[in-house]
């Protein structure tokens, strides 16, 4: 595919300062899980617990990016990226996690060296402080985020160390990645670390009806405290920005002609996205639809907390992948419901599919819903959007057998996904939606949490059976380089 194949009506529609590249998470790529002074995280514990990960794998080695980061940065440069979003491992920097525990200089040196390598290659670092890997010791001592009074000072200190040591070069900070997914998967369903829920066949401890909302409240408040620290103590000299990244897919009414299903789809958006985004960008409080269903199980902000949270994020970090059809449930909501009392379907009333299947059951290519979501977020929050994750798996990629280091895996499904979704980004931008970045998920195939190595999201194929974890490009990596060359306006320098 070449420039001549691209839609001329969207050429140069993204601003010249638009950043694009790939997103990763420390537990999924670094390996070196107990090397050079790193402490245990809750994902180290979870991954080593039998029966928790689909293929019984662990993140002990994953892609070994800790060892091979220079090669990876060189590959990113060859792919043409302008930015790289990665996360820091809290327990690599402060192995025991708390405000009173020692800093691990070797861990900090790794991240400092990575930042230097990126900058030397013309790649802008976007750094996430927390991508789901709470230090295990904080879970042991006081239950982690279930105890906001103890957790917030510890998170503040961790963030301050990162700002002090990396902020002279890092200008784009993200406090949390997908706080909603962390809470729902870890404390409602119990299928992610720390593995808590009401379902005793799955988890020994937890309460799905209350704990997710307690943890979410802690995340919002701790984000706001750290954002204030950055703005007051570091931003004046470092001149960076700080935001949070939220998850959320588009919810389409199962029957668009029935007001109750239209309302249900909107309610589903509020339970998934506005749960965090309304306090941050709109009202300083949770959506009324959530309060109506959850009552006092949903924590309350004091007036001071509300003021602290509202406006704390300087941009809207957006992670999204797909679309679902949503139908209203006429029955009373279950005590453990977190979706807004709705049913979710792959087809609508007319039998229309929500999208082409990937290699991951929940993920289907749905560019139409993606475009609607971009506009919904902009219309509701009027905040510049940084797309911090978007991507797909593709069927058949486990069977790839490279014959040489220059072999390229052809991945037309992923190419089509990126082309259709980025076309929607360009069209939304033409309409005035302010979009500042796009980070594909993800740079290399990796350890995909509880799915282990069974989900391949990368634009780079990794041979996980080889101790050296060799990498091979997929066609989509080169497609994105060409397509962004078409979409991003030329600088007027």
User: Annotated active-site positions, please?
Assistant: 178, 389
Assign 3-class secondary structure to the chain.
CCHHHCCHHHCCCECCCCEEEEECCHHHHCCCCCCCCCCCEHHHHHHCCCCCCCCCCCCCCCCCHHHHHHHHHHHHHHHCCCEEEEECCHHHHCCCCCCCCCCCHHHHHHHHHHHHHHHHCCCEEEEEEECCCCEHHHHHHHCHHHCHHHHHHHHHHHHHHHHHHHCCCCCEEEEEECHHHHHHHHHHCCCCCCCCCCCCCCCCCCCCCCHHHHHHHHHHHHHHHHHHHHHHHHHHHHCCEEEEEEECCEEEECCCCCHHHHHHHHHHHHHHHHHHHHHHHHCCCCCHHHHHHHHHHCCCCCHHHHHHHCCCCCCEEEECCCEEEEEECCCCCCCCCCCCCEEEECECCCCCECCEECCCCCCEECHHHHHHHHHHHHHHHCCCEEEEEECCCCCCHHHCCCCCCCCCECCHHHHHHHHHHHHHHHHHHHCCCCEEEEEECCCCCCCCHHHCCCCCCCCEEECCCCCCCCEEEEHHHHHHHHHHHHHECCCCC
């Amino acid at each position: 595919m070449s420039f001549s194949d691209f839609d001329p009506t969207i050429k140069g529609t993204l601003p010249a300062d638009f950043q694009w590249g790939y997103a990763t998470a420390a537990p999924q790529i670094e390996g070196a899980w107990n090397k050079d002074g790193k402490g245990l995280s809750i994902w180290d514990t979870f991954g080593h617990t039998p029966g928790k990960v689909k293929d019984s794998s662990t993140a002990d080695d994953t892609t070994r990016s800790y060892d091979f980061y220079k090669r990876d940065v060189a590959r990113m440069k060859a792919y043409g990226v302008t930015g790289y979003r990665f996360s820091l491992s809290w327990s690599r920097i402060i192995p025991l996690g708390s405000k009173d525990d020692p800093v691990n200089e070797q861990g900090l040196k790794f991240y400092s060296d990575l930042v230097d390598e990126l900058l030397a290659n013309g790649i802008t670092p976007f750094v996430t402080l927390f991508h789901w890997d709470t230090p295990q010791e904080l879970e042991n001592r006081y239950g982690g985020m279930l105890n906001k009074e103890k957790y917030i000072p510890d998170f503040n200190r961790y963030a301050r160390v990162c700002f002090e040591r990396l902020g002279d070069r890092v200008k784009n900070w993200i406090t949390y990645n997908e706080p909603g997914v962390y809470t729902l998967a870890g404390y409602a369903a119990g299928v992610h670390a720390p593995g808590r829920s009401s379902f005793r066949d799955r988890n020994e401890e937890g309460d799905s009806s209350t704990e997710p909302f307690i943890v979410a409240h802690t995340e919002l408040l701790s984000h706001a405290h750290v954002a204030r620290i950055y703005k007051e103590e570091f931003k004046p000299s470092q001149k960076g920005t700080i935001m949070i990244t939220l998850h959320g897919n588009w919810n389409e009414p199962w029957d668009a002609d029935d007001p109750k299903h239209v309302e249900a789809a909107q309610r589903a958006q509020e339970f998934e996205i506005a749960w965090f985004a309304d306090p941050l960008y709109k009202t300083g409080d949770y959506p009324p639809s959530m309060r109506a269903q959850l009552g006092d199980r949903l924590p309350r902000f004091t007036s001071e907390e509300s003021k602290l949270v509202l406006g704390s994020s300087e941009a809207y970090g957006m992670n999204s992948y797909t679309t679902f059809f949503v139908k209203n449930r006429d029955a009373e909501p279950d005590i453990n419901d977190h979706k807004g009392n709705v049913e979710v379907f792959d087809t609508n009333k007319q039998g229309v599919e929500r999208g082409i299947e990937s290699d991951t059951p929940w993920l289907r290519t749905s560019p139409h819903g993606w475009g609607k979501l971009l506009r919904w977020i902009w219309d509701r929050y009027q905040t510049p959007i940084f797309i911090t994750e978007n991507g797909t798996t593709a069927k058949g990629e486990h069977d790839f057998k490279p014959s040489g280091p220059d072999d390229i895996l052809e991945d037309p499904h992923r190419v089509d996904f990126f082309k259709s979704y980025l076309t929607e980004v360009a069209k939304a931008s033409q309409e005035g939606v302010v979009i500042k970045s796009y980070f594909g998920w993800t740079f290399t195939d990796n350890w995909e949490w509880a799915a282990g190595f069974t989900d391949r999201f990368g634009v780079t194929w990794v041979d996980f059976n080889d101790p050296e974890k060799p990498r091979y490009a997929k066609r989509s990596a080169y497609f994105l380089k060409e397509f962004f060359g078409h979409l991003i306006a030329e600088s007027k320098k």
